[in-house]
A = this chain, B = another copy of it.
Amino acid sequence: MHVGLISYTPDPEGVIAAAARISVSNVSALDLKEKQTPERVAGLLKYLLSAGHLSPFEHASFTFAIDGISRVTSHQLVRHRLASYTQQSQRYVSFKKLDFVTPNTIAAKPDWLAKYNEAVQNAHRLYCEMLDAGIPAEDARYILPNAAETRLVMTMNARELMNAAGLRLCLRAQWEIIQLFDYVKREVEKVAPLIAEQLQAKCYRLGYCDERESCGLFPTRQ
């Protein structure tokens, strides 16, 4: 799995702060953005977060190249609807070589790993044979496993990143999407450390665990 930032709103935290201030100011946001110090931006973001005023965080967006996740995880990921995705197509791309993801619970057991690898290779061999026999890639791919890797470009604004990370960095999420959002967080850290700090399991914001059972990090509400 590899996650890289392709592009993002420059000075994302400054943009959020300037936008937030327009609601209580009578000068242009252009001027507000000019005349703010990093300290003031940091203080304002802290206030917005504590007061649950999250809408200004929508004004900063981040675009990621995500490569080498399984179709298991891409299917989960695109369920976040307040974001934009462009995904590699299994209809239009033929995979002469199949890259695939192996869960640790399988990789850790040599016997199962061997069977797993063999089964993936068998499926891929049949896929290639069907392609050679003239069956369209869009149909041959029905035999490919969930483990098959995919690539996509994802754009998410900071508010939705906080929401999605809140759900996907919870230990009840699956390991692969946890790892994905860990990488996403690392990329955001390079350019927007105050936002990256907020990319954390939802319990940190709530102050309690709202799942059926807690992982131990925070108690449930009772």
Residue positions of A touching B, CB distance < 8 A: 2, 4, 6-11, 15, 18-20, 22-26, 28-30, 33, 47, 50-52, 55-56, 58-61, 63, 65, 67, 70-72, 74-75, 78-79, 81-82, 84-93, 95, 100-103, 105-106, 109, 112, 115-116, 119-120, 122-123, 126, 129-130, 133, 135-136, 138-148, 151-153, 155, 157, 174, 202, 206-208, 210-212, 221
Our pick among B18, B30, B102, B146 for the contact of A141 (Cβ within 8 Å) is: B146
Which listed residue (B81, B89, B102) contacts A23, Cβ 8 A? B89
User: A63 vs B143: C-alpha distance in the bound complex, in angstroms?
Assistant: 30
Contact B145–A19 (Cβ < 8 Å): no
Contacts of A115 in B (CB 8 A): 126, 129
Q: Is the CB of A75 within 8 A of B72?
A: no
Smallest CB separation, A47 vs chain B (Å): 8
- A153 adjacent to B19 (CB under 8 Å): yes
The 8 lowest CB-CB distance pairs between A and B, nearest first, are: A58-B84, A103-B139, A29-B65, A81-B81, A142-B147, A19-B153, A52-B210, A19-B86
User: Which residue in chain B gives the minimum CB-CB distance to A222?
Assistant: B50
Q: In whole angstroms, what is the CA distance A3 to B144 when docked?
A: 25
Please give, as numbers and ranges, the residues of chain B lying within 8 Å of A15 by CB-CB distance. 6-7, 63
